[in-house]
Amino acid sequence: MKRRLLLLAPIAVAAWLLPYGLGGYTMHVVDVAVIFAILAIGLGLTMGVAGQINLAQVAFFGVGAYTVAILTTRTGLSFWPAAVLAILAAVAAGLLVGIPALRMQSHYLGIVTLGLALGFINWVTNAGIAGRAEGISNIPVPPLFGIDLSSGYLFYYLELVVFALVLAFALFVTRSPLGRRMRAMRDDGLAAGALGAEIPLLRMTAFVLSGLYGGVAGLLYAGLIQFVAPETFSISNMFLLLAMVIIGGRASVIGCVIGALGLAFVREALLDVSAYAQLGYGIVVVLVVVFFPQGLAGLPAQVFRRKARERPRLAPFVPYDEAPPTPARTALEIDQVTKRFKGLVALQDVSLSVPVREIRGIVGPNGSGKTTLFNVISGFYTPTAGRVRLDGNAVTGLTPYRLSLEGIARTFQNLRLFEDLTVRDNVLVALDRTRTSWIWRYLALPWAVAGYDRSLRGRAEEVLQRFGLSDFADAIPRLLPYGIQRRVEIARAMASSPSLLLLDEPAAGLNGDEVGRLAEIVRSIRDSGVTVVVIEHNMGLVMSLCDHITVLSGGRVIADGSPDEVAVDPRVVEAYLGDSMTAPTEREAEHDHADR
Amino acid sequence: MQVFLQTLIGGITFGAVYALVAMGFSIVYRTMGLVNFAHGSVVMIGAYAASTFYMASRVPFAVAIVVAIVVTGLIGLIIERFLRPLENKDFTLMLIGTIGFGAVLEALAILIWGATGRAVPNPVATEPLDLGGVRIPTYSLLVIGVAALATGMLAWFLRRTKLGAAMQAVAMDHEAATACGIHVGRSNAMAFGIGACLAAVAGSLIGPMLYVNPTMGGTLGIKGFAAAMLGGFGSMPGAIVGGLAFGLLDAFAAGNFQGYSDLVTFVVFALAVMIRPTGIFGETTVNRA
Amino acid sequence: MTTLTVEGLSVRYGGVRAAHNVSFTVEPGQSLGIIGANGAGKTSTLKAIMGLAPRQARAIRFGKDDLLRAAPHTLVRRGIGYVPEGRHVFPGLTVEKNLLLGAYCRSWKNTPIAEIYDLFPVLGDMRHRPAGTLSGGQQQMLAVGRALMCRPKVMLLDEPSMGLSPILVGEIANVLKRLNADGLGIVLVEQNAKLTFEVTTTCLVMENGEIAATGTSRELRHDPQVRRIYLGL
């Protein structure tokens, strides 16, 4: 941290001294570039960090600039009150444009936001109040303690202060729990939801942030140029902005700033041959997308592969403390659950109840409905009929994030780690148990947020240490061996302090030793007071690990009992082998039993 | 009533062009899951290619359309080749990559044909037909006819030919298609080529209706895309219905709200897809999160 | 002789080892079963032979052809038919189109489609229906029929019994036995051990991606090890 501050100091000094070496026109170009940098940060936050395709950023910019222009010239409001209202208006526009994100994502969202941006341009070019195609001129110079801001030099200092603030806020947001949740949502919305992230609110937050940055940029633009016209907010500028963010690196705030400043100067230098410039940046965008998806910000990592100082090692798991015995009660009860998909019955009248502190195995042939059952329990599917109760409370049909806060954690058959987050960040996402409504603190009490983040980080180290993952804390999951990824996923699930843990094929892809260690971990989790339900195909593991087994076939429960009972049940043997012909006779079974 | 019918005809004419653009989007999307944001710019190149050839060499308009089809078909193949590594991988990256291609095509158009644009003379210079007071421009009939012909040929290709069946098979299940001996990459390239050809037809037709200029691709592309979405992305009947619906929406918005037609059109469109994100004939998975 | 030879085949998805060191040979007229529990690596093995999964092998040959260098879509032409797991018919196309696509590599003027309709009369009755509207069993027949359209010499089948009623499973078994008797080589991947033992003469048992046991189907039918692998006893 101190090193970073030391690095920042010369940059800040250089930025402060910059105007002394520049001519008037160059100063103006720099002023505009800084405004684009602010816009780019906003776009980076929504698109790169939160993964929401937002092609309406220029419209937010326009809302900010036009609000100032209209309020100051038409109503005689002075600049700063108009500026505050402009920010509010841009945030409101962000909310409005963000609403479609609740219903659609990716290219659909892209086209809807782009359409709404076109609608905005259409409005300003036609509305008398917005000055039509000629725009609005004579916007007053912002007064500031007698400083003459009509000078591009002095305006630069105002911009610099604002820029430093918004940059710091963006960095703060991306590195805090909110930013982690947004990045988690970008990488895997389903898994993020299952870990307590309130996806709809997070999407809206992303659009609010982009509106906020658009508004700030807009009011600075109005104050700087004192003139607004539709072409500044055109689609081609939207694409320029997009190119800035992509070339700089959309997931990195600093990358966005560098991309914006760089491209703004390039554009200025090539103003006389703008068609060539557009050709150039079009080609660069295509090349960046195909060869350097992380943009400039990803280059250092691509060029200097960080060498590991020593070979990282998976440390042994540190067992949980055994919890004192609790009175027997039902942790999870599934009552007559049926789930149909378009006429296909995936689950039919499935009932089972799992007492607290039990390891329950769910087994059955392919397509017997095991994962569907997990999806119903964890809220991904709403059952067609039936009820789910957690510790006696009805939780049927609750959303995954609510269920996560209620104490259900799960892993996924095909692993759903957040691929571009470090192992530590994966765990941190799960540790954060706040509701999204908590985020008002980011503006009002940033120090409280910082304190909370520190406490989370402390606990993350504990979790990583317990699961023997400390050496991998800064690693990117997809580069780790599969066995370690599996363990990261369990660590992440346990970081959310669940009362019920659902494991979907935790042993898939593990070798013999790893399976043994997995069994040890799962037993310790049970002994710490957590109820565990596990879907597994490795029958050796199921038989030795589970206290009780439920067998599904064709969406129905066909057997339920202790491992020994289930293994000799003819219906089970038939489900697995196609026929009961290889089922042991009763005498053989008794014989087998005596052997053990 | 007369005004209504007049607007209706205008709407259907533009709708026919939007339907062609939307079909181009859809055929690429359903075979390879790629949303081609450069499609609008391909339409623009098609408009330029056809009008240049038509105006410079005075050949029949139909020949000009064929030339435009060849030019854009090649462009389509080039774009597909470049973006192939991203297929089915990262949606956002593909989307941005095609936007980049759009910018390249636009810049090329400015460099070749200049930034100012041109008016294209009407290839059928006859008086509009008068039908009970409603004037039907003969060019409208030509546009609707050509669009219907292109649609019919596409349907025939997909339904009746071996290659068409193979392309549909790839769209439905590319692994099973491979197991049947179909080369998926070649089929994808063909889909992209066909999409580009449809863009050329659309561009050629719209030339005489609008002012041909390098930035026309943006709006046309967005409207075609919106039409595809309204009908249900990836569905061919959806593209036709969506295109016509969008054309009518556009025409009536222009009739009733004059300058604000784009605003009204896009707000209505946003509301429509909010209510039904899958469109009229839509696929089920829209929200991929 | 067109023998399908697989030597030392391994499949890896990212960090996961799905199959390891699998070897076998099948000639036209022979039949080989591969059984094992879910996740034992059976499907991955077939997919890897077809070039649809990341693979490593000492050799995969078909007659003189080196399949390791062959593009996946050329395998049909060389005489290998493949019935993927979960049927994978083209749901929006008619039954007839589905079958014709099976003969994509040859002229559509001269296809064995009439033979397929003889083999599965129900497909003939439904030839103009979209494949997606067929029942599971009919779709399975369609998938088998589609793979037969190119007159393969060896056919790879992945879990044709999945989700079918016992009667339909029996029907599929009869068809496979008939085809086998007519000289078709069969590799049958199955979880349904009974069906496999009935159709094939030789069997491999896979566990955790490796071959755990080999033998004639008659021997394995009563082998307690098979039961252990399936039920974890």
For the domain that residue A417 is a member of, what is the CATH number?
3.40.50.300
In tens, the pLDDT along B188-201 reads: 899 999 999 999 99
Q: Write down which residue in A233, A257, A290 finishes a domain.
A: A233
Average pLDDT over residues B81-94: 76
Show the tokens assigned to A335.
């009552």
In tens, the pLDDT along A276-285 reads: 888 888 898 8
Chain C residue nearest residue B175, CA to CA: C52
Chain-chain contact of A112 with B222 (C-beta, under 8 angstroms): no
Angle between helix A253-269 and helix A274-291 axes, rounded to 10 deg: 150
For chain C, the C-alpha Rg in angstroms (whole number) is 17
Chain-chain contact of C193 with A584 (C-beta, under 8 angstroms): no
Q: Closest CB to A366: pick one of C15, C191, C194.
A: C191
In tens, the pLDDT along A229-276 reads: 998 998 888 888 998 998 898 889 999 999 999 999 888 888 888 888
For the domain that residue B173 is a member of, what is the CATH number?
1.10.3470
Chain-chain contact of B110 with A235 (C-beta, under 8 angstroms): no
Chain A residues 49-78 within an 8 A CB cutoff of chain B: 51, 53
Using an 8 Å CB-CB cutoff, list chain B residues near A121: 262
Whether the CB of A96 is below 8 Å from some CB of chain B: the reply is: no
**Per the domain annotation, does B288 fall within a domain?**
no
Using an 8 Å CB-CB cutoff, list chain A residues near B266: 115-116, 118-119, 122
pTM: 0.86
Tell me the backbone φ, ψ of residue A461, rounded to 5 degrees: -60, -40
Show the tokens assigned to A264.
């703004």
Integer Cα distance of A40 and A58 in angstroms: 10
Q: Is B21 in contact with B43 (CB distance < 8 Å)?
A: yes
Residue A374, class by beta-carbon neighbours within 10 Å (0-12 exposed, 13-18 middle, 19+ buried)? buried
Integer Cα distance of A455 and A437 in angstroms: 20
Chain A residue nearest residue C221, CA to CA: A582
Domain-wise residue ranges, chain C: 4-86+152-231
Paired strand residues for B64? none
Q: Which fold has domain C4-86+152-231?
A: Rossmann fold (3.40.50)
Using an 8 Å CB-CB cutoff, list chain C residues near B184: 73
Whether the CB of B163 is below 8 Å from some CB of chain C: the reply is: no
**Per the domain annotation, does B181 fall within a domain?**
yes
In tens, the pLDDT along A565-592 reads: 888 888 887 777 665 443 333 333 334 4
Paired strand residues for C26? C4
Strands C154-158 vs C80-83: parallel, antiparallel or unpaired: parallel
Paired strand residues for C31? C186
In SS3 terms, B215-259 reads as CHHHHHHHHHHHHHHHHCCCCHHHHHHHHHHHHHHHHHHHHHHHH
Whether the CB of A207 is below 8 Å from some CB of chain B: the reply is: no
**Per the domain annotation, does B37 fall within a domain?**
yes
Nearest Cα neighbor of C189 from C177, C200, C179 is: C200
**What is the signed CA dihedral for A504, A509, A511, A514, rounded to 10 degrees?**
-40
Chain-chain contact of B180 with C76 (C-beta, under 8 angstroms): yes
Q: Is A76 in contact with A69 (CB distance < 8 Å)?
A: no
Percent of chain A with pLDDT over 90: 56
8-state DSSP, A564: H
Chain-chain contact of B183 with C71 (C-beta, under 8 angstroms): yes
In tens, the pLDDT along A446-471 reads: 888 999 999 999 999 999 999 999 99
Containing A259, the helix (H) or strand (E) segment is: helix A253-269
Whether the CB of C104 is below 8 Å from some CB of chain B: the reply is: yes
Q: Write down which residue in A216, A233, A250 finishes a domain.
A: A233
Total structural domains within chain A: 3
Chain-chain contact of B262 with A53 (C-beta, under 8 angstroms): no
Residue with tokens 């402390």: A458
pLDDT of residue A277: 85
Containing A550, the helix (H) or strand (E) segment is: strand A548-553
Mark whether A76 and A216 lie in a shared domain.
yes
Chain C residue nearest residue A588, CA to CA: C224
**Per the domain annotation, does B281 fall within a domain?**
no
Whether the CB of C88 is below 8 Å from some CB of chain B: the reply is: yes
Residue B276 CA to its chain's centroid (Å): 22
Chain-chain contact of B181 with C90 (C-beta, under 8 angstroms): no
Q: Quote the domain boundaries for residue A357.
A: 330-595
In tens, the pLDDT along B10-46 reads: 999 999 999 999 999 899 888 877 788 899 999 999 9
Tell me the backbone φ, ψ of residue B119, rounded to 5 degrees: -95, 140
Q: Is C192 in contact with C170 (CB distance < 8 Å)?
A: no
Percent of chain C with pLDDT over 90: 51
Whether the CB of B104 is below 8 Å from some CB of chain C: the reply is: no
How large is the ipTM?
0.87
Integer Cα distance of C2 and A244 in angstroms: 58
Integer Cα distance of A15 and A12 in angstroms: 5
pLDDT band with cut points at 50, 70 and 90 for residue A596: very low
Mark whether A250 and A224 lie in a shared domain.
no
Q: Write down which residue in A211, A233, A255 finishes a domain.
A: A233
Query: What average pLDDT is seen over chain A?
Result: 88
Using an 8 Å CB-CB cutoff, list chain C residues near B176: 84, 88-90
Q: Quote the domain boundaries for residue B241.
A: 2-275
Contacting chains of C (3 CB pairs or more, <8 Å) are A, B
Total structural domains within chain B: 1
**What is the signed CA dihedral for A66, B103, B248, B17, rounded to 10 degrees?**
160
Order of strands, sheet of A556-561, starting from the edge strand that comes earlier in the sequence: A408-410, A500-504, A531-535, A359-363, A548-553, A556-561
